[in-house]
Amino acid sequence: MDPMSHPAIALFTSLLAIPSPSGYESLMAAFIRTKLDALGYQAETDATGNVLVRLEGIKSEAPLVCYASHMDEIGVVVQRIDDDGCLHIQPLGGLHAWKLGERPLVILGDRASTIGVASMGGGHGASAAQNIGWDGVHLTTGLARVQLAEMGIRSGSPAVPVRDGRGPVFFGDVQDPLVGAWTFDDRMGVVTLLRLLEWLRANGKRPAAPTIIAFTVQEEVGGAGAKVVARRERPAVFVAIDGCPVLPTIPLALDGRPGIWTHDRVAPYDPRLVRDLLATARLAGTELQPAAYHVSASDASMVFDAGLAQRIACFGHVRENSHGFEVARLSVFDHLLATLATFVTSWAG
């Protein structure tokens, strides 16, 4: 099968074309609303920009469960502008300068957008920097300050890598290739929730428990959107569908099995939910790889830390090169969907 015809990859490729830095998710939200409308769901968008779908549970007395994937991506934000159009930048979310590299970015202005190239200086000579920080990075635009101002590009304007060069690319085993792209995070979570909703419709299924499907904003800068949803809706259980990064101390395998978070820098995850999800994955014909993180956080753990949900979980595809040009196994996306669909339709607390 051509990997581009895989339903997860076809949808993911469409999402890669939509810039969605934290705080500027409206284009992504509009695309998701279009997909939800086509599937026949009554979606709503709150004042923060979160997109929600409410689903009745077979067991109405069961605890309310919220499944969430965030729409925002990491990027950069303009800090100041020189007269020659040089833009000094800082990270928006957990992006490192060495991960970004020297590449073209689209800068989103209030009235128009333009291209700038992330520039880090010459590579010749003894003075070539070996460890570039954000103070050594600027965007070269070729425009004067006044021209940028006419576009509404100012301090605070965000920028993300242009569509060309984002991927996806496929390599390795042709029967189950690796997939590479500039940050799956968390477009592939969005893909998974959309595929879940499509699966429920196609198979005439309902969740076991009352359910909210949430596409959230601003996860990369503190989980603001998820906190708004949880504070208003008060779910008893909050489950983030997000990737599981491979780290030197957490050697997860890119073998098609999804991963599940057990701890992160903010909170531990509910051990009963972890056990239930591990068992559900086996019923769905796969396994989840447990991972204990010490530097990461998710919508779920940030919601729990704010006292806005009683029980939390986070699971998703295993990915290498987190917050960069990430790599995952193609089969992991179907295994993730199978696990999620089985859990949603069978778990009621």
Euclidean distance between CA atoms 234 and 251, whole angstroms: 35
- Outline which parts of the chain fall under CATH 3.40.630.10: 3-73+183-346
Euclidean distance between CA atoms 57 and 245, whole angstroms: 32
Euclidean distance between CA atoms 305 and 320, whole angstroms: 27
Query: Residue 103: how many CB atoms within 10 A of its CB?
Result: 13
pLDDT for res 128 = 55
Cα–Cα nearest to 324, from 90, 161, 169, 138: 161
Euclidean distance between CA atoms 306 and 269, whole angstroms: 14
Please list the ranges in the chain whose pLDDT falls under 50.
none
Euclidean distance between CA atoms 87 and 143, whole angstroms: 10
- Helix residue ranges per DSSP H, 284-330: 299-305
Domain spanning 76-161: CATH superfamily: Peptidase M42, domain 2 (2.40.30.40)
CA distances from 332 to 122, 180, 247, 286, 287 (A): 40, 13, 18, 9, 10
pLDDT for res 123 = 76
- Outline which parts of the chain fall under CATH 2.40.30.40: 76-161
Euclidean distance between CA atoms 337 and 317, whole angstroms: 10
Euclidean distance between CA atoms 93 and 267, whole angstroms: 19
Cα–Cα nearest to 160, from 318, 1, 16: 16
pLDDT tens column, 175-197? 999 999 999 999 999 999 999 99
* Amino acid occupying residue 299: D
Handedness of CA 143, 156, 46, 204 (dihedral sign): positive
Euclidean distance between CA atoms 74 and 147, whole angstroms: 26
pLDDT for res 125 = 62
Euclidean distance between CA atoms 96 and 71, whole angstroms: 20
pLDDT for res 126 = 53
Euclidean distance between CA atoms 32 and 51, whole angstroms: 8
Handedness of CA 98, 99, 105, 109 (dihedral sign): negative
Cα–Cα nearest to 285, from 256, 312, 323: 256
Under CATH, what is the fold of the domain 3-73+183-346?
Answer: Aminopeptidase (3.40.630)
Cα–Cα nearest to 1, from 330, 245, 247: 330
pLDDT for res 168 = 98
Q: Are 72 and 20 in contact (CB under 8 A)?
A: yes
